[in-house]
Structure 1
């Protein structure tokens, strides 16, 4: 499915592609934290300029980001409208029965909308410029210090890498099963809401069956190759923190300081 961007990697040789995945993951967490400081027009404009600059540096076509928005349209629209009508503070601009739109509600809805858009853009940049295995390695490395409190860093990284690896496969299986059901005369768009939900049952059952079968085959293959966990294992992929990674993190701290100064 073309709208699914999770687990999809676009090969490239840009600066973002060559950066250490740990730096990109830390940068994403830092940007998401900074987003909650952006509560006016100037701060959001600066963050949108940063987002467009990263897209330009990554040299990734805009269609990937548009496809990413398609799967989030309902969540973004619902949250934005809920914030718009739930805020009753400020000057009343429009009222229809118990629905009220105020100037502060309009501003808050705009901030929420921008926040969702920026989160999707920044997370999409991360997934499109970082291979799933590198991202899993970064998670494992960042969680390594927490092994002192019995956090299973290697197991978490392994589960993440497997999840990201099989998301596109799972979506392909879903599309294949839906096409098979359509060929048998199933119409997923007819009827009321309950009938539409029931029409997806013929998809879920074979999808769960194929997923469990694939998981069992993967477990057998790992056991046959002598997999015993992360203790004493060497690594083929070595992560190297470079100067550009440190400069990127310092730049994001500078952006965060600027946003903090300009916020309302």
Structure 2
């Protein structure tokens, strides 16, 4: 189980140097734009700019592809659900009570592209931004809500910790599965009931390990006199630079092209 979501890849690319507030804002806007795309020309534009962003970040396409492995089941489920349940006008195949329409196949392809673009784009954010910078960026973005009592720092800290521990729990799951397999557990069984039973011995120690790590983290934070965001100073002060201007310009071009694709295609 090789999950790379949440891992930071050190580098000096324009994405690494840009302010986390810029990357967070653009990632959110990017997801909204992807959800608004309604034709294959728009998806082609989004795919082109995503590949260009991956190359510019110097993270590596293989690294991004690794982040897509956990959603393979989701993609398969989405394809099956849309192909067999989508009601269209152009009937391609009818098997008993199951009707497959051309529109259902096209919609399934669009959903696959949408999921891939969303996950890959979100992964690029975590690859080029440390958990500390993510926390600071989220806190600064949500700081105006503090006037109404919104715990901006606490929410930002929880999100960054969750992202940080995704690869850790993935590695621990793999280690537990190997230990159980050496004791005769069969994780490759084709029977659903047997597969569920084989995963029960994995979940119990995984949850125990999660609670243990949470306790250790809480103890470490208290030992360092952590008291939340009030009067907290930062080693690195966030500030915008030329890299943010370049990224913003890059994103504006992307957004304009997608809007034009909706109008003319």
Q: TM-score range by the shorter chain?
A: over 0.9
Aligned to 1:130: 129
1:20-59 aligned within 5 A: 20-59=19-58
TM-score (norm 1): 0.92
TM-score (norm 2): 0.92
Aligned to 1:104: 103
Question: Following the alignment from structure 2 to structure 1, what is the Cα–Cα distance between the partners of residues 148 and 25?
Answer: 21
Is contact 2:15–2:243 with CA below 8 Å preserved after alignment? no
Question: Following the alignment from structure 2 to structure 1, what is the Cα–Cα distance between the partners of residues 223 and 120?
Answer: 41
1:163-201 CA distances to partner (integer Å, 9 max, x unpaired)? 222222222222222222222222222362122112112
Structure 1, 245-254 or 132-141: larger mean CA deviation: 245-254
Root mean square deviation, CA, Å: 1.8
1:222 paired to 2:221:
yes
Q: How many residues align?
A: 263
Taking a change above 3 Å as real, the CA distance of residues 125 and 174 of structure 1, as seen in their structure-2 partners, is same
1:260 paired to 2:259:
yes
Is contact 1:90–1:105 with CA below 8 Å preserved after alignment? no
1:192-233 CA distances to partner (integer Å, 9 max, x unpaired)? 212211211211111211221221122222222222221111
| Consecutive aligned runs of 4 or more in structure 1 exceeding 6 Å deviation | none
1:73-112 aligned within 5 A: 73-112=72-111
Question: Following the alignment from structure 1 to structure 2, what is the Cα–Cα distance between the partners of residues 223 and 238?
Answer: 24
The secondary structure found in structure 2 opposite 1:236 is coil
1:76-225 aligned within 5 A: 76-190=75-189, 192-225=191-224
The secondary structure found in structure 1 opposite 2:184 is coil
The secondary structure found in structure 2 opposite 1:94 is strand
Question: Following the alignment from structure 2 to structure 1, what is the Cα–Cα distance between the partners of residues 148 and 58?
Answer: 41
Question: Following the alignment from structure 1 to structure 2, what is the Cα–Cα distance between the partners of residues 180 and 158?
Answer: 33
Question: Following the alignment from structure 1 to structure 2, what is the Cα–Cα distance between the partners of residues 21 and 191?
Answer: 45
1:36-69 CA distances to partner (integer Å, 9 max, x unpaired)? 2221121111111111111111122222122122
Question: 5+ residue gaps in structure 1?
Answer: none
The secondary structure found in structure 2 opposite 1:39 is coil
Structure 1, 11-20 or 172-181: larger mean CA deviation: 172-181
Question: 5+ residue gaps in structure 2?
Answer: none
Question: Following the alignment from structure 2 to structure 1, what is the Cα–Cα distance between the partners of residues 237 and 91?
Answer: 58
